[in-house]
Structure 1
Amino acid sequence: MKLRYFVSAFFIFAFGRFSQAQNTLKTSAKGARYQIVDAHPGDRIKLDNVITFNLTIKTERDSVLMSSYQRGQPFTTQVQPSKTVDDLMDIFPLLAAKDSVRILIPADSLFKGHEQDRPPFLSGKNASVVYLLKIEKVQSLDEAIAEHKAAEAKAKEAAEKLKTEETSRIAKYVAALSPAPKATVSGLYYQVLTPSAKPKPLPGDTLLVNYIGRTLDGKVFDTNLKDEAQKAGVLQPGRPYEAFQFVVKAGQVIPGWDEGFLLLNQGSKARLIIPSKLAYADRGAGNDIPPYSPLVFDVELLSIKPGKHPAVAKKTPVKKASGKKVVKKKISTKKK
């Protein structure tokens, strides 16, 4: 009897808390429902402020659609007048630094005008997308510009150091490898780990490959192999892990790949040590690949599908002189 009373009391309490939470939801000017779940003292965000925030977008059943935490970098934006329900510009001025808020965006509003893009799991009449937002930092425009310039200067200094040290870093890495890699004129190094007697690809062929990409210090930044991604902690939920396909010498991959795979036979495994000028140069690629970063790829050339190869111009044979003197006949222009 006591147990039944306890269970009943628990459900009444839980339902009461749920109803209270539902009742605390407010509606923004654009029609989003929101609830500030963690409020902090401080000035509210103003127009033209630059804010840094983390955002997770989920379904109402808690399936994560996108997360700045997963990508490892928060978002930054300047607060402007609100134009659409999902730009959150009417929510930001309600918050201060470190505040957290739960926002429900109606799917009807989110996909208005492009209903064909609406996924089946948001097809319900009152379906919503859940935004979980946390304000990390609030700055004036001048403060944000000053911080950006300082960060640029620091990044430029670090890039120059990496540029200066790149050649010696590659030389040190290559010297430790056995068997010794071969070098090409461009500065690419390649080390055949599992040889094959099968044909090599030609420019225009479609290649199917496996790869693991690392920095010189051994950090894995990308791979098409699920087990390797899981082991390195770079597994991307929802990504199809399968053999990677590209057309060689068609500008679809970094130059180091275009050059390196033409040196390999089908079925072979190899290691490519690619200088930054044949990869991402002074641009870098995300947090894992700074400017002037040499890259190391362990690759396997699975198959070659012949493509259209550039036509090779045929040489016109040159006739050798016979040595006989050619006598030209004079043609008379007089009429008979």
Structure 2
Amino acid sequence: MLSVNDSARVRIPTDSIFAGREDGRPPFLPKGSYLNFTIKVEKTQSLDEAMAERNAAMEKEKTERAAMAEKLRGEEKATLARYIADNQLTPQTTTSGLKYIITTPSAGRKPVNGDTLLVNYAGRTMDGKLFDSSIEEVAKAGGLQQPGRNYEPIKVVVGDGQVIRGWDEGLLLVNEGAKAKFIIPSALAYGERGAGADIKPYSPLVFDVEVVKVIPGVRKKAVAKTGVKRAPAKKATGKRAATKRKVTKK
């Protein structure tokens, strides 16, 4: 048995590792080869001590993540305010925090939840970096053109949770044929997770959108109420109804 600060060399035959599953053996570990390890005992712990140390480390990591999240949330508010001021924007703000500007109004059909919308869009981070677009010219100008991609309006069933919350809410504000700018806080976008290399955790996003077409969804027909009550059905008793016989006197 090894004690603290003891060292040992361990040789493991690879034939025992891959016994019965030779198809998983890599070329650099041929038959008859060995894996050689040098190990050293740095510390010994009881199971309770190890669990306590692990729990303390997890709690520390949780606290650090919470502190970082709070810092990023504070920075997000400042970033949003700076973006709006720098670009001299006067957006409207919904109760959820979504900020939007109708850049090209339209008297077209107003979408409702369940409608399918054909939408052109360009998405950017607060520093103006393009991360996605359905418009080929915009993608090309932003260095994001993808060979083989069909650049066309995407289909979105609004209110169905297919897209980020900022889109589901914002698209209901844009009539068919209209264009808008959405300034979406991270809580209505990708939140603490982020998305890919360009969208960091707690990143607000900017989308320029155009609702090309609104395709009405299936509407449930309302049943009209007349206020007339139906007479209750007679209860079956299983007995034959009694009949009156007419008696004539002679």
What TM-score do you get using the length of structure 2 for normalisation?
0.62
Residue equivalent to 2:111: 201
**Percentage identity across paired residues of the two chains:** 51
Residues 190-230 of structure 1: per-residue CA shift (max 9 Å, x gap):
01111111121011000001000001111111111112112
* 1:316–1:245 Cα change, 3 Å: same
Would you identify which runs of 4 or more consecutive aligned residues in structure 1 move more than 4 Å? 81-84, 91-94, 155-160, 310-317
Find the structure with the greater CA-based Rg.
Answer: 2
Structure 1: which 5+ runs fail to align? 1-46, 48-80, 95-148, 318-336
Structure 2 CA distance, aligned partners of 1:174 and 1:316? 54
SS for the counterpart of 2:218 is: coil
Give the one of 119, 132, 137 matched to 1:227: 137
2:188 aligns with 278
**Deviation digits for residues 55-100 of structure 1 (CA, Å, limit 9, x no counterpart):** xxxxxxxxxxxxxxxxxxxxxxxxxx8857xxxx735769xxxxxx
Shift of 1:179: 5.0
The AA in structure 2 aligned to 1:261 is L
Distance 1:243 1:316, change over 3 A: same
Shift of 1:310: 6.1
Total equivalences in the alignment: 177
* 1:210 equivalent in alignment to 2:120: yes
Q: Which residue of 1 aligns with 2:217?
A: 307
Alignment of 1:157-306 (within 5 A): 159-178=69-88, 180-306=90-216
Match of 2:26 in 1: 90
Letter in 2 for 1:201: P
Whole-angstrom CA distance in 1 between matches of 2:190 and 2:134: 19
State the 1:255 CA deviation.
Answer: 0.7
Matches within 5 A, 1:113-128: none
Structure 1 counterpart of 2:190, which letter? Answer: Y
**TM-score (structure 1 length as normaliser):** 0.47
CA distance in 2 between counterparts of 1:182 and 1:213 reads 19
Structure with higher RCO (Cα < 8 A, 6+ apart): 2
User: In structure 2, do the counterparts of structure 1 residues 208 and 92 end up closer, same or farther at CA, with 3 Å as the change threshold?
Assistant: farther
| Cα 1:91–1:187 shift into 2, 3 Å | farther
